[in-house]
Chains A and B, each alone.
Chain A
Amino acid sequence: GAGVSQSPSNKVTEKGKDVELRCDPISGHTALYWYRQSLGQGLEFLIYFQGNSAPDKSGLPSDRFSAERTGGSVSTLTIQRTQQEDSAVYLCASSLSLGPFTDTQYFGPGTRLTVL
């Protein structure tokens, strides 16, 4: 189908390594969101993109986390010097809307990150 896709689906890395997680939103969707789901926790908002700009980065947990979006499409979430507490499922969602969090978000399948 033409849903949101994420890669890799699973990533195991060693503490201290950098990782890149990729999200391909639904074609034409201008808004893109990153969340993470830690074991036993609720969804945690990380960052939101409108086009290529990120008006709201307030959810990034530390300066080891960064994200970019190019061409208004694909987004990459980068975690530098990974820590064990970064282990989680990282979810990406996209929506048509021009206003944040006001339109239906379509979620990708997530990337399960395990930091050893």
Chain B
Amino acid sequence: EDKVVQSPLSLVVHEGDTVTLNCSYEVTNFRSLLWYKQEKKAPTFLFMLTSSGIEKKSGRLSSILDKKELSSILNITATQTGDSAIYLCAAHFGNEKLTFGTGTRLTIIP
């Protein structure tokens, strides 16, 4: 059964801290892994990772995929209150569907 597991389920940190969110997957015919930020309406796309070991960066956010370990991490440095959200990880597999994890709820305290 295809599965995506995220940890921790929730995380509370102070503004300025660095956080690392984890995602592991078990899917057949893995194609890519996606990270989304859920604040309102549809989750907004952050990264798509297909190749192992290549870090993707966008400002204070970065992510990397480890296909050997079937996992990915999302790092956020110098966190701000606007980073508070639920971060979703999804695995894209052979038949074009996405399997989502349950998300990590991140709360940034000013």
Contact = CB atoms under 8 A, between A and B. Distances in A.
A77 to B, nearest CB: 15
Interface string B7-41: 00100000000000000000000000000101111
B22 to A, nearest CB: 16
A101 B88 CA distance: 13
Interface residues of B, number: 21
B98 interface: yes
A109 to B, nearest CB: 6
Tell me which of A42, A45, A107, A112 has the highest count of chain B C-beta atoms within 10 A of its own C-beta: A107
Interface of B: 9, 36, 38-45, 86, 88, 95-100, 102-103, 105
Given A104-B86, A105-B103, A59 B41 contact: yes
Q: How large is the interface on A (under 10, 10 to 19, 20 to 34, 35 or more residues)?
A: 10 to 19
A80 interface: no
26 contacts: A39-B96, A42-B44, A42-B45, A43-B36, A43-B42, A43-B45, A44-B42, A45-B42, A59-B41, A89-B96, A91-B98, A100-B40, A101-B38, A101-B41, A104-B9, A104-B86, A104-B102, A104-B103, A104-B105, A105-B38, A105-B88, A105-B103, A106-B100, A109-B97, A109-B99, A112-B97
